[in-house]
Structure 1
Amino acid sequence: MSMSTLKELAVQYATKQPKQVDALTEKAPILDALPFDEASHGLWNAYEDLSNIQGAGFVEMNAPLPVIAADADLKKVDLAIMGGEIEVPEDKARMFGGKEQYFSKKMDAILRASGMAAEKKIIYDNFRAFALDHGAALSAGAETDACYSILAVRFEPGVTCGLYSPEGFKRGSLLDSLPINGGALYKNAQGVLVFGMRVKGYFGIQIADPRTVAAIVNINADNVPTAAQVDDLLAMVRADSADTKLFMHMRCKNMLNRYKAGDGQGGGSLQTLPATKDLNRTFEAWNGIPIVASYNFLEGAETAVALD
């Protein structure tokens, strides 16, 4: 079973507004990299949580075969709504040449903000929360409430992935746009005559295996994860370069530069080529696992976590 990114889904479904996805993911690199599976039942997804798995084994010729089995609990994940409403007063709409022109000029900014908000929720309410709830977290040692996190996520179809509903794409866009009140004027809560529009899509996150998400928390400039901790983080999720990514804030990524720019802590040395003026102090992968840096992580504002 293959998964698709939002941009790949846009090619398939968003034929009327193909550029919408570019604005949605412009400032949300994790959302851009997230692979999605189609939800099994429109607005929710059913999956089996396997346990007590007994696999096949070798036996002597003509000997009885061992029992193979896998217990399964049927579980359900509800999709959430990514969307919102926007209004414009009647007179302002006229100044912009009409409500359509006004909403069109605002839509890219709205989509960028929507993508950033969705990504922040995925970071903290899904991946980071799951790692902490399931004991899959390491501490870099900071004890103040001015911390960063690093997340490792291994994506697997039907197990750990994004979810989408084709129901949200029926009008040819990733986020369906619909005029409020049929496009006619109405009074808002403040009694002002306005035109309105709402945008809406149905998406979700599924994490069905605790061996696919892990975190390093309590990171700051004085408490940078050791190289061994990052290696252990990847081992916790059974990382593979084909399906695993490291997520972190850019400042957190910069802290790891010490392991490339040798500073007496086991790092390498900087290299520049005679033909270039570019001094490259950073790296894009750790032992082959791609790093995705996002400014939608809190910037040194996470609360220190006490781990058991």
Structure 2
Amino acid sequence: MGKDFLMGTLKELSNEHCKKQPHQVDTITEEAPILGILPLAPSSHELWHNHEELSGVQGAGWVPMNAPLPAMSVSADIKKTDLAILGGEIEVPQDRAKAFGGKEKYFAKKLPKTQRESGMSAETAIIYNNFLPYAHEHNKVVDAGASGDGYSMIAVTFTQDELCGLYSPAGFKMGAIMDVEPINNGGLYKDKDGVLVYGIALKAYMGLLLANPKKIAAIRNIDKEHKPTADMIDNMLADCRASNSSNTYIFCHPKCQTLLNEHKGKSMQTTTDTKNINRTFTHWNGVEIQTSFNFMDGTEQHVDL
């Protein structure tokens, strides 16, 4: 990747820029597989990203020999996407820090869990605050038919400058994905209850660029009695322009993926000698299915479509 800040996954960016805390990325993405897959591009500014969103294109056309060429033009709107802060604070009372052998040992013990939870929270926000609302906004959602709570399935084709994650290069210059800073210069201070504590703050500036509704689609209101048909899934992939399968993923809860097993089961043939039946699959027409427990487990409220 070189020394410049380029596009890559968190793992790729960490390998290049995070020499200070190289294993931090594994902890953050351990329970957040979608966050681990998400390609990220550097933001145009430290705390926000300016981008062009095409509003109209006049392309080339066929003309007779020696005829004047038609005019071509591209019109675009300038839009701004603010980055969000991924992180939080950890505090420890003075006496508890002593019991753990010092504040440094206490924080070292708590950091992995905090970073893991941060990754899970970020992934939940990507699903429910970004992907699904964006698909709804642009009428890229199909109804599987359930009238009660259920699951969702999302198909995304990641494209640089159109649909990808964003990161602030200023953050990676500190040598870690999430920069860790001591509160009050590492000294004691009183918390909101007046207790003397030590504290640290964790921060990473990241965001999501959603600038092409043609690259996302979803199926909602899924349950055991209302499973996505093969045609629904095929159409979902077509609706997100899944021409390059290496950039396209289907995201869902593991139990939602299990509901699809019958599609393979219907096409299987068994004999009296068959001892092992495998109805599971990891791809649909070459597109990888990536499951995540950060989807709600069948408790998404019904949505009217």
Structure-2-length-normalised TM-score: 0.95
Name the structure 1 match of 2:183: 180
Alignment gaps of 5+ in structure 2: none
User: 2:232 and 2:96 mapped to 1: Cα distance?
Assistant: 55
Q: 2:114 aligns with which of 99, 110, 113?
A: 110
Deviation at 1:278, TM superposition (A): 6.8
Please state whether the residue corresponding to 1:211 is helix, strand or coil: helix
Q: 2:47 matched to 1:43? A: yes
Alignment gaps of 5+ in structure 1: 263-267
Q: Which amino acid aligns with 1:281?
A: R
Describe how 1:115-194 pairs up with structure 2 within 5 A.
Answer: 115-144=119-148, 146-194=149-197
Name the structure 1 match of 2:223: 220
User: 1:140 and 1:158 mapped to 2: Cα distance?
Assistant: 31
User: 2:268 and 2:7 mapped to 1: Cα distance?
Assistant: 38
Q: Which amino acid aligns with 1:295?
A: F
1:213-262 per-position Cα deviation (integer Å, ceiling 9, x unaligned): 11100000110010000001011111120211100000000000111112
User: 1:271 and 1:215 mapped to 2: Cα distance?
Assistant: 34
User: 1:270 and 1:88 mapped to 2: Cα distance?
Assistant: 60
Structure 1 segments of 4 or more deviating over 6 A? none
Name the structure 2 match of 1:294: 292
CA contact (8 A) 1:153 1:214 kept: yes
CA contact (8 A) 1:260 1:270 kept: no
RMSD between superposed Cα atoms in Å? 1.8
Structure-1-length-normalised TM-score: 0.94
CA gap of 1:270–1:177, structure 2 versus 1, over 3 A, is farther
Name the structure 2 match of 1:255: 259
User: 1:271 and 1:285 mapped to 2: Cα distance?
Assistant: 22
CA contact (8 A) 1:270 1:281 kept: no
User: 1:33 and 1:212 mapped to 2: Cα distance?
Assistant: 16
Name the structure 2 match of 1:13: 17
Name the structure 2 match of 1:284: 282
User: 1:111 and 1:127 mapped to 2: Cα distance?
Assistant: 23
1:119-142 per-position Cα deviation (integer Å, ceiling 9, x unaligned): 000000000111111111000000
Name the structure 2 match of 1:242: 246
User: 2:158 and 2:258 mapped to 1: Cα distance?
Assistant: 25
Please state whether the residue corresponding to 1:143 is helix, strand or coil: coil
Name the structure 2 match of 1:67: 71
CA contact (8 A) 1:270 1:280 kept: no
User: 2:154 and 2:200 mapped to 1: Cα distance?
Assistant: 36
CA contact (8 A) 1:153 1:212 kept: yes
Name the structure 2 match of 1:269: 268
